[in-house]
Structure 1
Amino acid sequence: MDKKEFDSLQNVDTQLIHSGRRDRYTQKAVNPIIQRTSSVIFDSLADKTKAGKENHLTTLYYGRRGTLTHFALKESLCLLEKGAGCALFPSGAAAITQSILAFVKTGDHILMTGSAYEPSQSFCNNFLKKIGVSTTFFDPTATDGITDLITKNTRILFLEAPGSITMEVQDIPKLVKEARKKNPELIIMMDNTWAAGYFFKPLLHGIDISIQSGTKYLIGHSDFMLGFAVSNERCWDILREQTYLLGQTIDSDTAYMASRGLRTLATRLKQHEQNGLLVANFLKNHPKVDKILHPAFDSCPGNEYFKRDFTGACGLFSFTLSNNQNKDTIAAMVDNTQILKMAFSWGGYESLILPIIPEDLAKTRPQNMQLHVDTTLFRVHIGLEDPNDIIEDLTHMLAKAN
């Protein structure tokens, strides 16, 4: 299928099946080839010089720049996120930290949502602080005054919606518009892992760089680590060159598995969404459950923005209990679940659960920020098992709560 024919396929589900599968990448097979190499051989000095100046997304030059396997994946991810260029990283955390580093210098300031992924906050509070880059965190439930925190040296506005653990959704179009008015040169980044580039497309809402942990839904089977950042035209040259200088790359096998994951991404996400909503509705009516922190529910902060801006939901959400539980009770609840296993990360086919007490949750938020959770919280990732089995597992678990 040539580019003209491919561009006529408007539905993203179809595009995910066929993107990155040009003959150059597949060599007439169904899937892109796995091309492993560190050195690329040039036929002449002129060819070497030419390759060094050509597109990082399509031209073989050196293994760290990528092989045909990488280029096929990057092409697909640019299409998914509607971007001009894509940088690949060995983890989601690396994608976040290296994308930030590509644009800041000593004396700069970052404005970041206070509900961001904990390693993102730790990177700002520890590493960036040491090199003279300051960070201000804003309340993810605030509707006004956020852009008042933008100063003359603010270089990056960093968003994440829904927020990690507590799932707040901001009014992203309003925030982007006001931030651009305050500082047109501001670089706006967003951790878009929850929506997987499928349910929300940041670059179509004026954001410069969309970042994902491909470890989650893109890989989809909890067996490879991957991060990526897709940039618009305005920021691509800087992101490309700076992350290349920082030595970022992934191996060809991971790139291949990510491309394979793309083929079933839409189908898996729709099932995660369906299962997640069924389980969340069960929990909503359970006498021992207080709040459902699922963006599709009106009990979740920013639900009105979610309904307006997102096209669907994944399987990750949180809920709080009516009463706070002590650690012994929490252990009794989660140690004997049959389906929901306790683990970090999420996005695979399997259901997961992570208990969090308010005191520990407060440690992930800036000290000056109000925490809107005051009882034991469970973050769950609802996988692809039969939802009735998941509900039965949760029923047994909640029976042990006070």
Structure 2
Amino acid sequence: MIDKKKYKESTLITHAGQNSSEHFGFVNTPVYRGSTVLSENSKQFRERTSRYFYGSKSNPNTESLSEGIKLLENADGCKITNSGRTAILLSLLSVLNTGDQLILSDNVYEPTKQIAEKFLSKMGIETVYFNPKDLGKLEDKITKRTKAVFFESPGSLTFEILDINKLVSICSKSNLFTIIDNTWATPLYFKPFKYGIDISVHAGTKYMVGHSDVFMGAVTYNKRAQAYIEETFDILRISSNADDAYMANRGLRTINVRMKKQFENALRVCEFLSDHKKIIEILYPPFYRSRDHDLWKKYFLGGGGSLMSIIIDNENNDIETLDKFIDGLSLFGIGASWGGYESLVMPIFPKRETTKEWLKYPNSMARIHIGLEDADDLIQDLGSSLDSL
């Protein structure tokens, strides 16, 4: 096992979780497909002391991947799930029980809200929302039934960054579990456990996999949350299969190279868009003209995802103008998800419970993912489409 204290991050990314001597010298952990794992004797089976007991719990592929993610995020443990949604579900089911209350940041990923409102509600778990830019009111929402606060930073679609220290301080006073969706920043650019957060979830489908061809999720955690996460995971077994874990592990080895290039591209695109007459605002905190840039500098390690949103000057507020902009792009695929090597775009209509901020821009917002293409080509493509409006 590699010593994380001895090596820098790029070296950890290359070697963490790779144990070639255990696999006849092969650099990459071979794919271990299997359900049944044989024990050496009856006592080992009874006491479940073998390294692997059953294929749905773990295998060399998920173990290798989880070890790499755990080291990068400085976590005490990591569980690999079969999607980002099941990672979210695992984190919530681990710490919530019937009668509890969950507090959600109003800008979280829409499926997180669906899990809370359409699934957790059936278990008698109440969900309330807080405005991520008004933490002063968060404390007022906490009751004796509140058990956890789940948030994203930056938020989904609108990219608000929370004051993490203040949020964790508020939650600590009431002994609440804190859960962050860290998919945008990844373990490279935000270290949640440094700030006292208990659980971090990832849609590994995005930057960890990096090629838009595998579903995968991850849940990392500190010692406080360890027993809760591991028991719930053992019950649900919402684990990734060996083939997908192999592919995700391969993607993880290049995450730093890909994200650095995509981040550089994103900043160049922002420079261009910020001066274009058809752009009202860019929602991308790493960009110096964006909202929450100072908070990004405070909490993030000089980088992040290449996902952003833009607000277009749509005088008539008609959907046809937004469609024309999106359809006029040649290098941006129209599709959901992000984090792959390719650039993407989609129309967005942020729905919020605690603010009317985004209602000011009907039919005027698009989410853009910047890929590995040449930045000059992306800029030309965006400019051509904007100029046609």
1:216 and 2:202 matched: no
Amino acid at match of 1:379: R
In the TM superposition, 1:192-207 aligns within 5 A as 192-207=182-197
Q: Distance in 1 between matches of 2:285 and 2:38?
A: 51
Superposition CA RMSD, Å: 1.6
Name the aligned partner's letter for residue 369 of structure 2: H
| Deviation of the 1:122 alpha carbon | 1.4
User: 2:234 is matched with which residue: 244, 250, 254?
Assistant: 244
Q: TM-score, normalised by structure 2?
A: 0.95
Does the alignment pair 1:323 with 2:314? yes
Partner of 2:158: 166
SS at match of 2:254: helix
Return the letter of the residue paired with 1:78: K
Deviations 1:243-266 (A, max 9, x none): 221131111011111111111011
Distance 1:24 1:234, change over 3 A: farther
For residues 288-321 of structure 1, give each alpha carbon's deviation from its aligned partner in whole angstroms, at most 9, with x where no partner exists: 1011100123554432211111011221011111
In structure 1, the residue matched to 2:294 is 304
Scaled by the length of structure 1, what TM-score is found? 0.92
What is the CA-CA distance between 1:241 and the residue it aligns to?
A: 1.1
Whole-angstrom distance in 2 between the partners of 1:348 and 1:173: 31
Q: 1:37 — aligned with what?
A: 34
Find out whether 1:12 has 2:3 as its counterpart: no
Per-residue deviation, residues 66-101 of structure 1 (Å, max 9, x unmatched) = 111111111111101111111111110111022201
Equivalent position of 1:365 in the other structure: 352
**1:24 Cα deviation (Å)?**
5.1
Q: Please list, as runs of the form range in 1=range in 2, the aligned pairs for 1:336-375 lying within 5 A after superposition.
A: 336-356=328-348, 360-361=349-350, 364-366=351-353, 368-372=354-358, 374-375=360-361
Aligned-pair CA distance for 1:365: 1.6
Task: Work out which of the residue numbers 362, 385, 388 in structure 2 matches 1:397.
Answer: 385
1:133 aligns with 2:132: no
Inter-partner Cα distance in structure 1 for 2:289 and 2:311: 11
> What is the CA distance between 1:143 and its match in structure 2?
4.2
- The amino acid across from 1:245 in the alignment is I
Equivalent-residue separation in structure 2 for 1:296 and 1:373 (angstroms):
24
Please point out which of 11, 24, 29 is paired with 1:27: 24
2:110 aligned residue (97, 118, 122): 118
The 5 A counterparts of 1:55-70 are: 59-70=51-62
The correspondence for 2:43, drawn from 35, 43, 46, is 46
In the alignment, structure 2 segments of 5+ residues that lack a partner are: none
Which whole-Å CA distance do the structure 2 matches of 1:23 and 1:383 have between them?
32
Deviation sequence 1:145-196 (CA, Å, 0-9, x none): 3222211111111010100000000001121012102x12x11100000001
Q: Is the 8 A contact 2:4 2:71 kept in 1?
A: no
- How many residues align structurally? 385
* Partner AA of 1:370 in structure 2: K
Give yes or no for contact 2:84–2:216 (8 Å, CA) kept in 1. yes
Residue equivalent to 1:98:
90
State the alpha-carbon separation in 2 of the partners of residues 131 and 252 from structure 1.
32
Partner Cα separation in structure 1 for residue 297 and residue 222 of structure 2: 25
Mapped to 2, the partners of 1:247 and 1:67 lie a distance apart of 12
> AA paired with 1:40?
V
Q: 1:291 aligns with which of 264, 274, 281?
A: 281
Cα distance change, pair 400–25 in 1 and its aligned pair in 2 (3 A): farther
- Note the C-alpha offset of 1:236: 1.1
